[in-house]
Structures are given as structure tokens and as C-alpha cells.
Amino acid sequence: MNTISEYSLAAVLLVIKLFTLSMYVPVDGENPVITAVIFTIMSLIKLCTLIPLFYCAKKQGGYAALSGRFKAFGCIFFALGAAGLAAAVSDLLSTAIESVYPDRYTKFSITLIFFFICAYIASMGIKGFSRCSAGALFVILPLMLFVFYQMRGALLNDRLNFYADRPLPLINQTVKNLLEYTVDYFIFFGLLPYLKGSPSRAAGIYICADIIIVLLVLLTSASVMGSFWDNSGYIFFALSFSTFGSVIDRSDGIYLAISSGAAIICGSALLIVLKDSLNFFNGAKDKNILLISAAALTAICVFADNLQLSSQRLITPICLFSAAVLFIISCISAVRIKRIDVMKNERTAQS
Amino acid sequence: MDQKNPKPITYRNFDSAYFVKNLNENILMLRTVLDNTMDLNIMPVRIDSIDCAVITIEGMVSTSAMAELIFRPLTELDGSGQTPQTIMDFLCTGCLMSNERILISDLGQAARLLFSGFALIIVDSTACAAAFGIQGYEKKAISSPMMENNVMGSQEAFTEVVRTNISLIRRRIKHPSLRFEMMQIGELSNTDVCLVYIRGRTDEKMVARLRSDLKKIKLDCILGTGYIMPFIESDSPRLLFSQVGFTERPDMLCENIIRGRIGILIDGNPFCLICPYLFSQNFASADDAASKTYFTFFMKLIRYIAFFLATAFPGIYLAAVNYDPEMLNAQLLSNLSASEKTTMLPLFSETLIIMLLLEVMREASIRLPRAVGAAMSIAGGLIIGDAAVKSGLISSPLLIIVGITATASYVLPSINQQMSTLRIMFILAGGFAGFFGITACALMTAANICSADMMGIAYTSPIAPFIKGQAADVFARMTFEQMQDKKTTINDFS
């Protein structure tokens, strides 16, 4: 089986995190410093929630770290979650691109191209995909730094403070908002079966780098935007607005290219998870399942768009539900494995 | 013996036919098997009343060697009371006619040896033939490399004759671990294909896998490297770049086999295949070892930039001008706008047409006779370049872009095919979808390159997967002290 290293997995997840950051829409009146603190606490909680998964992965080593009994069940929810998230990612990206170039692109064409490209990259196998992501990270990060470097003249460090008029409702809103940007968590779970090394080490590398990158992006954005945060949409537009177009506008093409690249990596990862979940039911390894999945997802996205449905709103509960079920399954599985181990040990001791 | 032979013997079943104890019948069988070909020379000789025949293929043997090494010893035998068996013993063990002496009994091998420049001696009343290697066919002399030119270092290139190429390698590596394995591939051509590797440095599994891949080839003829490459890289046929490299320089091949790679020499081809080949090797040159490390770093950087310019630059230009003009400097933008106003076609069509024209000119410059090279330069440079701008067919900035792209593409001739394909892909992507298209195209290309894997070695090694201590070779080169200490082989990359 094709496997990837801890570093490759971390690289994939960081690219995905950069995508979610570039598409991040702050809540009204958000205090970025509070957001950064909440994010750090959430990351540590995320690490804690991953502990049962590490345990399962270590014991079982099977698909999605689930035992055989729960495998089919897990695969259904994996498929649901991956398909839902892929549709959401496509929706986010196509909306962003369409809003930047309304006269040149339509959501339909972007969705179509997006899933075709994702299917192609996913077809190159997990190794090709992960190496490509690692390469993309080394291109994306310097470009991001370049964009931020361009904003150095607009820094408003005095805006970085903990002040909030109504702290509790703000924290509540911010937590809810941040929860919607946890696609990387799901993908981490989905790509665990491909991991060659230690999952806990992979999680450690990923979460540390994740916290550093997010804090850097959030705080830099915050220091630039200051009180203009209220007028924001995506971070990108907020940056553009708050600097009066003087610096960031000349980089919007690069910025959008970065977002598109990260979104494609994210979509490919989700298609890989989806393909393997579907292949479980299919029995054999069907190569065409990737194209079928991509076509089906395109159709769903276009259909949702034509019905004027905000697919993100529909998809978020599906994904959260899938993630919750997977989490519960993994916990039950961990307890079950532990129990079986204890029973085995007892039998050995008795005999 | 006679019962073994199929009847009738033809050129279709000669592989299972054997010599008999009758000279005339043997000659007849050979004539039948070789379909009485015009270049078959059969010279009857009588030694002590025993009929013999010396058989050769015209133009394949050296006449002087034949007179000196075959006819003179044979004539010396006359009058010494020989029997057929003593003549055959004398030919095989009693004299030194040639350093390549083989006693054969089947017609298949006899035919193959004849076509390789051997002389056959058949003696009446013996059911075998003695073959002597006295090749003397016309061949191209060792010349300077055509594609991999260098300033310092060896100026020798491989020739078309596999045995000469073997000697070129042997001259450079005088060690018993250097191993050559010859095999014949091609059902009709029986081309000599030689595996070259160093025992102890090369993974034996890799050699076995390559050997079996080569033996599986059932093509009628092998006329070049391209006939073999698809069978070796059968694991990943959809890839854009090839995991099998080639070189025309014996010194480059030696460097590669010392590092644990395997070379494949093909008779009739002045290029040697190298596998497994890494992506970063495409950016190496013969002069790297002769340059200072810092300068090698600089030159490699130039080559990577050239690769970027030759593939993505026109596409990015198109995307920037068409989709994100605000990225460009105001002065540059106004100049571009002014020059674009004078042209009749949209920028996308202009770029596509001029790039296709560039490919046409490149193809013409490769194929055309050298005598008309100057005419081609005039046609390309003046007529298509200058006149096209003046007539408003293309804009001057685009001509500069084309010039930069064309120049950059000459830096890496070994991956020219891939660069041309990628260039067109990036132009289409940038023209249809701006920076979104460029990103998508770049990612698809990167995924394609990164997924390549040959015999357990990633094509993008040692960068992805990252192998500590080996990455220096990608961006510069290891110092000779490091090479001395590490003795790196390709197996370290798996």
C-alpha cells in the first residue's frame, strides 16, 4: 500500500489550513486577538480529541482506525463527510473567484474544472498527491509572506488588544465561526490510514505548525485591519479594503492563485478519502470511481447552486454530524480494543 | 543428428535446425535458411583432400584479418595428413585465429554469428561449425558529443557500435566489479543490448527487474532507445517526464553507474539509457564537476529559472495581462496597451499562434540540411519576427516573451519535448482561466511529476521525499571531499 510520512501528512494539512485561512470570514465586531487565543485553545482540544484515534490507529492499523465491525459504518460517514466537505470547498472557491472576476467565470465552469483537476491529482496516488502538496507548501508560504511583507507599512500594532464590548457573545460567535473552518481535522482523520509513521508525531508536527501559521496570519491581518474588521468579507477583501487598495490589490491575482491551489489540494484529499470509502463497498479497487465521484459532486454543486441553496449551510451540519459519528465510533472502538486486550491478557494469565 | 531437423528447413524454423555430417547438405541448409541472400559468401577450401568451407557475410568481416587469421593457418595445415576431426580440433584449440572462437552446432546461432561479423568454418564429416570473430564492418568513428557539449572534460561520445561503446566505458572504469551483460532483443533484428552496472553498487533486484523487463520485449526490431524505454517504465505510462534518462557521453554514464544506476547500451545507437533517472538530473551538466561548487549552484539556479521561463512564462504573461493587469507596473501596462492596440488578434490567439510558429521553426531547424540553416534564420528572424510586428500580426512585447522563452528552452535540450508540451498547456490554462488556470496546471504537472516512482525510487528524490544530506546535489553539487566520505548510491534514495 502507498504510504506517506508524518511530515507529508503535516504538509498536506497545512496547505489545507492555508486555504481555510484565505477563505476565512470574520464575524461582526470580531476581536482578532481573542480569536487567536480561542483558536490556540481549540487546537489543544483538537489534539486531545485525537488521542483515542491514535490509540485505534496504533492498535488496529486498519482503514480509518476503525475496527472491522465498525468499518462499513465508518466508511458511510467518511463518504458523507468527504463529499459534503468537497462540495463546500468547491462552493467557497467558486464564490470567491466569481466575485473577483464576475464577467469572466461562472460558478458552473469553476466547479466543473475544480473537480476535474482534483480527480486528476487524486488519481496520481497518495504519494504523488502528498509530494505535490509539500511542494505547494513551499511555494505558497513564501508567496503569503510576500503578500504580508507588502503590508508592512499599514501595521497598526496598537489595535492588538483584548478589548471587547460584550465578550461572552463574541466568544460564542467566534467559536461557532472557527468550527466551520475545521476541514483539516476531518482530512487528518481520513488520511491516517496512509500514514507510515507515528500518528501522534504527525499530529504534533501538524498542530504546532498549524498554531504558528494561524497566529501569524490572524495577528498580521488584525494588526493591519484594526477597526476595519467589521467591514470585512473574506480576509483577503478585508485586507484590500483596510489598506485602501494601495498594496494588496496588486497582489490579488497571486492571492487568488494561492487560494485556488490550496483549495485544489484540499479537494483532492477529500476525493482520495471519498474514493477509498466507496471502494470499500465496491469490493475491488475501481479506478473510475474517482471520476464518478467528481462528476457526482459537480452535479450536486451545480444543482444546489441552481436551486439558490447555500450549499455551505446545508453541508456544514452534514459534515459536523459525520465527524461526530466518526469520533464516537473511534472512541467505542478504542474502548472495545482495550477490553479485548484485557480479556486476552486475563486468558493468557489463567492458562 | 539428421532426425532432429525439421523438414523442410526454412528461415521460419531455422532456430531448431542443426548441422549434419555432410558439408554440401550443411551449405544447402545455410543457403535455405538465409534465403540464398546476395551477401552470403561461401568459399570452398580443400585441406588434405578434406572439403571445407569458409562462410561469411559480405561487408561484415575484415578481409585482411580473414587472410591473416583464417586462410594462412588453414593453408599451413595442408599436406600434414589431417582427418576432419583433427582439423576441427586444430581450429578450436590448436591455433589462435581470433580471440572470439565458438564451436556451434545449431543453425540459429550460426546465422546470428554470421550477421554479427563472424566467419564460419565447416568441415566435411563433422556436425558442427567453428565461428571466429573477425568483424571488420564500416563504422562511424568516435566523435564529439552533439547534444551534451561541455567546455572542460572529455570530448568523446558514444558511437553506434555497442562493442566500441563497451570499450569506452571499460577504459574509464578499470575494476573487476564493472559488469556487462549482453542480450539480443528484437525478433527480427536481434539487436545487441548490453546492461552495464557495477556489482556491489547496484541493487541486484533492480538489475533482475530490468533484465526481465528487457527479455519480455517482443518487438520485431529495436532501432533505438525509444523502442525500449516504454517497456522499462511500464509502471507509470501516463507520466509526462521519463524516468529513464539518456546520455551520449561515456563519462556521464560512468558517473551514473558508479552511483548505482544501470546503463543500457543498444547496438546501432549512440545514446545510452540510464535508469533509474531523477528529475534533478535533467538540470545537471557535464561541466558541473569541473566548476567550483558556488558556480555550480549558480548555474543550476539558472537552469531551474530557464525551465520556469520556458514552460510557464508565456502563460503567466497572458494571465497577468488578460486577467490581472493591475499586477503590472503602470508604465509597462500603458506600453503593453499601446502595442496591443496595433494588433488585429486578441493576445491569447497571438500567443498561441506565435508559440506554434516557434515549434514549427524549431522542428525545421532540427530537420533541415545544414546548408540551408542561414536561410532558415533569415526566414525566422526577419520575415516572421520583424514583418509580423510591422504588419500588426503580433505585438513587440510578445515577441520579446517568445525570444526569452525560446532561448530558455535551449538551456535544457534533454527535456525539450516536455517543456514544449507544458508551454502550450500553460498558455491554454492562462488564456482560458487566468491565474486560477495557471495554478491548476502547475499543480497537475507537479502531481504528475511527483507520482513517478521507478524500482522504489521516487523521481523527485531527494527533495520529495526529502533525504537528508543528499539534497545538495539538487541545487549545487557535493564537494569531492563529501563524495569521498559518503560514496552515495541511488539505493540511498529508496
**What are the CB-based long-range contacts (under 8 Å, 24+) for A159-162?**
A159/A222, A159/A223, A159/A225, A159/A226, A159/A227, A160/A32, A160/A33, A160/A219, A160/A222, A160/A223, A161/A31, A161/A33, A162/A31, A162/A33, A162/A34
Query: Alpha helix locations (H) across B342-384?
Result: 347-367, 373-378
What number is the ipTM of this complex? Answer: 0.83
Range of the domain at A89: 6-350
For residue A55, what pLDDT is reported?
Answer: 67
For residue A344, what pLDDT is reported?
Answer: 82
Task: With respect to residue A207, please indicate whether it lies within any of the assigned structural domains.
Answer: yes
Q: Does A97 touch chain B (CB under 8 A)?
A: yes
- In B, residues 355-384, which contact A (CB 8 Å cutoff)? none
On the question of pLDDT at B268 being above 80, the answer is yes
- Digit-coded pLDDT (tens) for B63-120: 888 888 888 888 777 777 788 888 888 888 777 667 788 888 888 888 888 888 888 9
In this predicted model, which residue has the larger pLDDT, A85 or A240?
A: A85
- Please answer yes or no on whether A104 and B458 come within 8 Å at the CB atom: no
**Contact by Cβ (8 Å): B102, B9:** no
On the question of pLDDT at A310 being above 70, the answer is no
On the question of pLDDT at A23 being above 90, the answer is no
Question: In this structure, what are the phi and psi dihedrals at residue B235, rounded to the nearest 5 degrees?
Answer: -65, -35
On the question of pLDDT at A58 being above 80, the answer is no
CA distance B437 to chain A (A): 8
Task: With respect to residue A273, please indicate whether it lies within any of the assigned structural domains.
Answer: yes
- Please answer yes or no on whether A104 and B320 come within 8 Å at the CB atom: no
CATH number at residue A77: 1.10.4160.10
- Digit-coded pLDDT (tens) for A319-338: 777 777 777 776 777 677 67
For residue B313, what pLDDT is reported?
Answer: 94
CB neighbours of residue A27 within 10 Å:
18
Domain count, chain A: 1
> What number is the average pLDDT over the span B246-265?
92
Distance CA A118, CA A83 (A): 13
Q: Smallest Cβ distance to A132: which of B323, B436, B447? A: B447
For residue B438, what pLDDT is reported?
Answer: 93
Q: Per DSSP, what are the bridge partners of residue B263?
A: B196, B274
Question: In this structure, what are the phi and psi dihedrals at residue A104, rounded to the nearest 5 degrees?
Answer: -110, -35
Nearest 5°: CA angle at A55, between A54 and A58?
80
Which band of pLDDT confidence, cut at 50, 70 and 90, is reported for residue A62? very low
In this structure, of A148-157, B182-191, B262-271, the range with the lowest mean pLDDT score is A148-157
> What number is the average pLDDT over the span B315-328?
86
For residue A231, what pLDDT is reported?
Answer: 45
Suggest the residue from B333, B450, B454, B461 to mutate for an interface test with chain A (most A CBs closer than 10 A). Answer: B450
Among A9-13, A57-61, A222-226, B367-371, the range with the most confident prediction by mean pLDDT is A9-13
Which band of pLDDT confidence, cut at 50, 70 and 90, is reported for residue A348? confident
Task: With respect to residue A1, please indicate whether it lies within any of the assigned structural domains.
Answer: no
Distance CA A4, CA A14 (A): 15
For residue B198, what pLDDT is reported?
Answer: 93
Per the omega criterion (within 30 degrees of 0), is the bond before B176 cis?
Answer: no
Per domain, the residue ranges of chain B are 2-133, 162-289, 312-451
Which band of pLDDT confidence, cut at 50, 70 and 90, is reported for residue A64? very low
- Digit-coded pLDDT (tens) for A149-193: 766 666 666 666 777 778 888 888 888 888 777 777 778 878 877
On the question of pLDDT at A223 being above 70, the answer is no
- Digit-coded pLDDT (tens) for B380-392: 776 677 777 777 7
The average confidence (pLDDT) of chain B is 85
> What number is the average pLDDT over the span A8-33?
81
Task: With respect to residue A324, please indicate whether it lies within any of the assigned structural domains.
Answer: yes
Q: Smallest Cβ distance to B436: which of A5, A97, A129? A: A97
For residue A158, what pLDDT is reported?
Answer: 64
- Please answer yes or no on whether B450 and A249 come within 8 Å at the CB atom: no
**Contact by Cβ (8 Å): A320, A179:** yes
In this predicted model, which residue has the larger pLDDT, B27 or A303?
A: B27
Distance CA B241, CA B126 (A): 56
Distance CA B90, CA B94 (A): 4
In this predicted model, which residue has the larger pLDDT, A305 or B316?
A: B316
C-alpha grid cell for residue A97?
A: 473567484
Task: With respect to residue A190, please indicate whether it lies within any of the assigned structural domains.
Answer: yes
Q: Tell me the DSSP string of B9-39.
A: --TTSGGG-B--S-HHHHHHHHHHHTTT-TT
- Please answer yes or no on whether A132 and B446 come within 8 Å at the CB atom: yes
- In A, residues 116-135, which contact B (CB 8 Å cutoff)? 117, 120-121, 124-125, 127-129, 131-132, 134-135
Which band of pLDDT confidence, cut at 50, 70 and 90, is reported for residue A242? low
For residue B1, what pLDDT is reported?
Answer: 44
